[in-house]
């Protein structure tokens, strides 16, 4: 079992498939096929039963969320569904729980496992192929803006259940001593000059986020957010659009949500069009004054830190190795724009 983290992605995924089979014993699903869909951090499998009904089974990375935090994520997804926002339906296990914790030979830690109803459709795009969208830019980003505003409206008015826990994308979580996604300034690939730039920017961003949080006019701009509102997490089938992957959801500023949605498009020729469309879609359902939009450079800088932290804490993965140069370049550019 101790060799799991020495395996390549294919070897780890094979062991995750065995864990998925063990987890299915907790659901009344007679699976005839278990197919890997995605293995980046979580492992996601498509499950097909004897009647041809499909489900998405998610095996969580070890240690990212406590049981209370995962339970809270699924509670919010149910609330969003009841509010009329199209998200994957949670499929409870046989005994009614929303997820189970399963051990399997060959995987060193017990893993949280949940199942969702299958969401058909095509991803609007992907992080690795920024700029290559599977729908017109204006349509894509107007949809993103509309959905983000509807989600934020639900979040600011929703009464949290007792015991609700999620992490916080606030000043400490983004630019503090122990950021949620790791101490990004320690990324080995940074040159000494780049590291100095990042460290200086970190201080300014931390102070900027604190000032933003202290302003009374921003009080209603902080709530639960999806925190990964990118094109690859929107599945489109005809006129139906569903938002998936709430793994990173937590408490954060609405502008951080918007910055996330646009971050990987910032250097593309269509960025001005994407920004205009997103803002127009958002304003159909929620106020977004120009004074708020003027703070976007702050949140782009904060978002860039998270991605540096992501590759720093996953430097052994092929995805991190491939994306590190691009993410450093993007971070330095948004830091410069922030001033």
Alpha-carbon torsion angle 37, 267, 225, 173, nearest 10: 100
Q: State whether 139 and 218 are in the same domain.
A: yes
321 confidence band (pLDDT: 50, 70, 90): confident
Q: State whether 102 and 194 are in the same domain.
A: no
Q: Which whole number is the average pLDDT over 33-55? A: 94
Q: Which of 100, 119, 138 is the last residue of a domain?
A: 119
Q: State whether 182 and 325 are in the same domain.
A: yes
The tally of domains found in the chain comes to: 2
The pLDDT of residue 129 is 58
| Residues paired with residue 45 on neighbouring β-strands, in sequence order | 36, 57
The pLDDT of residue 157 is 96
Sign of the C-alpha dihedral computed for residues 234, 236, 240 and 245 taken in this order: negative
Query: How is 236-260 classified by DSSP, letter by letter?
Result: EETTEEEE---TT-EEEEHHHHHHH
The pLDDT of residue 40 is 82
The pLDDT of residue 132 is 67
Torsional class of 73: left (φ above 0), alpha (ψ -120 to 50), beta (otherwise): alpha
Rounded distance, CA 190 to CA 325, Å?
Answer: 9
Please give the angle made by the CA atoms of 153, 172 and 326, to the nearest 5 degrees. 85
CATH number of the domain bearing residue 162: 3.90.1200.10
The pLDDT of residue 5 is 82
Q: State whether 196 and 79 are in the same domain.
A: no
Q: What is the pTM of this model?
A: 0.93
The pLDDT of residue 315 is 80
Residue 87 domain boundaries = 4-119
Q: State whether 76 and 46 are in the same domain.
A: yes
Q: State whether 242 and 289 are in the same domain.
A: yes
Residues 6+ apart with CB under 8 A from 48: 31, 32, 33, 35, 54
Chain segment 256-313, per-residue pLDDT in tens: 999 999 999 898 899 999 999 999 999 999 999 999 999 999 999 999 999 999 999 9
32 confidence band (pLDDT: 50, 70, 90): very high
The pLDDT of residue 120 is 87
Q: State whether 66 and 130 are in the same domain.
A: no
CB atoms within 10 A of CB 177: 7
Least confident of 4-13, 22-31, 327-336: 4-13
pLDDT at 196 over 60: yes
At which residue do the structure tokens 């079992």 appear? 1
Q: Which whole number is the average pLDDT over 120-132? A: 70
Structure tokens at 203: 């201080």
pLDDT at 221 over 70: yes
The pLDDT of residue 184 is 98
The pLDDT of residue 4 is 86
The pLDDT of residue 130 is 58
The pLDDT of residue 293 is 95
The pLDDT of residue 128 is 59
Chain segment 136-190, per-residue pLDDT in tens: 788 888 988 999 999 999 999 999 999 999 999 999 999 999 999 999 999 999 9
Considering just the CA atoms, what is the radius of gyration of the chain in Å? 20
Mean of per-residue pLDDT scores for the chain: 93
Q: State whether 147 and 275 are in the same domain.
A: yes
Q: Which of 93, 119, 145 is the last residue of a domain?
A: 119
Rounded distance, CA 181 to CA 309, Å?
Answer: 5
Percent of the chain with pLDDT over 90: 77
Q: State whether 192 and 305 are in the same domain.
A: yes
Q: Which of 119, 150, 165 is the last residue of a domain?
A: 119
Rounded distance, CA 334 to CA 305, Å?
Answer: 10
Q: State whether 312 and 191 are in the same domain.
A: yes
Q: State whether 113 and 129 are in the same domain.
A: no
Q: State whether 112 and 150 are in the same domain.
A: no
Chain segment 198-209, per-residue pLDDT in tens: 999 999 999 999
Q: Which whole number is the average pLDDT over 100-107? A: 93
């Amino acid at each position: 079992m101790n060799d799991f983290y020495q395996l390549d992605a294919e070897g780890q995924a094979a062991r995750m498939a065995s864990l998925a089979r063990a987890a299915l014993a907790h659901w009344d699903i007679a699976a005839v096929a278990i197919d890997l869909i995605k293995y980046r951090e979580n492992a996601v499998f498509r499950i097909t039963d004897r009647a041809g009904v499909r489900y998405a089974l998610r095996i969580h990375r070890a240690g990212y969320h406590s049981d209370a935090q995962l339970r809270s994520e699924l509670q919010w997804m149910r609330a969003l569904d009841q509010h009329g926002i199209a998200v994957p339906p949670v499929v409870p296990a046989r005994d009614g729980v929303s997820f189970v914790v399963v051990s399997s030979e060959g995987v060193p830690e017990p893993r949280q496992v949940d199942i969702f109803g299958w969401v058909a459709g095509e991803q609007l795009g992907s992080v690795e192929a920024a700029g290559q969208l599977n729908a017109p830019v204006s349509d894509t980003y107007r949809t993103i803006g509309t959905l983000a505003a509807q989600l934020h409206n639900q979040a600011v008015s929703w009464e949290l259940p007792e015991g609700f826990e999620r992490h916080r994308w606030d000043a400490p979580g983004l630019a503090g001593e122990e950021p949620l996604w790791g101490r990004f300034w320690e990324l080995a690939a940074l040159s000494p000059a780049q590291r100095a730039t990042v460290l200086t920017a970190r201080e300014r961003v931390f102070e900027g986020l604190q000032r933003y949080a202290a302003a009374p006019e921003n009080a209603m701009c902080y709530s639960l957010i999806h925190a990964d509102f990118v094109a690859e997490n929107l599945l489109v089938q005809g006129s139906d659009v569903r938002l998936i992957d709430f793994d990173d959801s937590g408490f954060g500023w609405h502008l951080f949500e918007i910055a996330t949605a646009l971050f990987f498009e910032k250097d593309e020729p269509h960025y001005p069009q994407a920004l205009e469309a997103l803002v127009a879609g958002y304003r159909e359902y929620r106020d977004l004054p120009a004074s708020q939009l003027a703070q976007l450079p702050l949140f782009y800088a904060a978002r860039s830190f998270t991605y540096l932290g992501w590759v720093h804490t996953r430097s052994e993965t092929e995805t991190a190795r491939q994306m590190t140069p691009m993410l450093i370049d993007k971070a330095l550019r948004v830091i410069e724009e922030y001033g």
